[in-house]
Amino acid sequence: DAGITQSPRHKVTETGTPVTLRCHQTENHRYMYWYRQDPGHGLRLIHYSYGVKDTDKGEVSDGYSVSRSKTEDFLLTLESATSSQTSVYFCAISRDSYEQYFGPGTRLTVT
């Protein structure tokens, strides 16, 4: 298994609070991604990173920000969580254009 961990694995938070999810890799892969998975929508790209301090928006980036200060860590922040951000969040990594390896997921509930 690719060395990807996500923390926390489960979180319940209240509307309006900030939340940060962490993705950590031990593979030294250049690319890292954050997706959300919702019924009826499949996997949708939130943000991705193509190197340290290099990030860009995905399909559903509104309400989310990311940071990558070192190769192994990619942080996803919800500045002010809303109920519509209740979802399962997956981090993924890839060497380049090859297959992506997914982390175990974080289940976030915003009440």
Partner 1 sequence: ILNVEQSPQSLHVQEGDSTNFTCSFPSSNFYALHWYRWETAKSPEALFVMTLNGDEKKKGRISATLNTKEGYSYLYIKGSQPEDSATYLCASGSNYKLTFGKGTLLTVNP
Please report, as ranges, the residues that interact with partner 1 according to CB under 8 A: 31, 33, 35, 40-45, 48, 50, 56, 58-59, 90, 94, 96-105
Min CB(97)–partner 1 separation in Å: 4
Q: What's the min distance (Å) between Cβ of 42 and partner 1? A: 4
How near is the Cβ of 98 to partner 1 at its closest, in Å? 6
In the complex with partner 1, the residue whose CB is nearer, 26 or 80, is 26
Residue 81 or 92 having the CB closest to partner 1: 92
Q: Look up residue 13 and give its two tokens.
A: 């938070």
* Token pair 């990311």 in the structure block, residue: 66
* 14 vs 95 by CB, closer to partner 1: 95
DSSP state of 58: -
Query: Is residue 75 a contact partner of residue 20, using CB atoms and an 8 Å limit?
Result: yes
Residue among 103, 77, 78 nearest 90 (CA): 103
Which is closer to partner 1, CB of 52 or CB of 79? 52
**Exposed/middle/buried for residue 97 (C-beta within 10 Å: 0-12, 13-18, 19+):** exposed
Residue type, position 40, single letter = G
Q: CB of residue 43 vs partner 1: minimum separation in angstroms? A: 4
